[in-house]
A and B are shown apart, each in its own frame.
Chain A
Amino acid sequence: NAGVTQTPKFQVLKTGQSMTLQCAQDMNHEYMSWYRQDPGMGLRLIHYSVGAGITDQGEVPNGYNVSRSTTEDFPLRLLSAAPSQTSVYFCASSYGPQGSSGNTIYFGEGSWLTVV
Chain B
Amino acid sequence: GIQVEQSPPDLILQEGANSTLRCNFSDSVNNLQWFHQNPWGQLINLFYIPSGTKQNGRLSATTVATERYSLLYISSSQTTDSGVYFCAGDMDSNYQLIWGAGTKLIIKP
Contact pick for A99, options B41, B43, B44, B97, CB 8 Å: B97
Q: A90-B43, A107-B42, A107-B43 are in contact. Are A101 and B31 (CB under 8 A)?
A: yes
A1-55 contacts to B, CB under 8 A, are 40-45, 48
Q: A102-B48, A109-B41 are in contact. Are A41 and B96 (CB under 8 A)?
A: no
Interface 1/0s, chain B 25-47, versus A by CB < 8 A? 00000110100000001111100
- Say yes or no for A84: interface residue by CB 8 A criterion: no
A98 contacts which chain B residues (CB < 8 A)?
95, 97
- Say yes or no for A82: interface residue by CB 8 A criterion: no
Q: A99-B30, A101-B48, A101-B50 are in contact. Are A45 and B41 (CB under 8 A)?
A: no
Closest B residue by C-beta to A92: B43
Question: Do A107 and B44 touch (CB < 8 A)?
Answer: yes
- Say yes or no for B61: interface residue by CB 8 A criterion: no
A43 to B101, CA, bound (A): 8
B83 contacts which chain A residues (CB < 8 A)?
none
Question: Do B97 and A45 touch (CB < 8 A)?
Answer: yes
- Say yes or no for B86: interface residue by CB 8 A criterion: yes
B41 contacts which chain A residues (CB < 8 A)?
88, 109-110
Q: Can you add 15 more A-B contacts, CB < 8 Å, to A43-B88, A102-B48?
A: A40-B101, A41-B99, A41-B101, A42-B101, A43-B97, A44-B99, A45-B96, A45-B97, A88-B41, A99-B30, A99-B89, A99-B90, A103-B48, A105-B33, A109-B41
Q: List 13 A-B contacts (CB under 8 A).
A: A42-B86, A42-B101, A43-B86, A44-B99, A45-B96, A88-B41, A92-B43, A99-B30, A100-B90, A101-B31, A101-B50, A105-B45, A106-B45
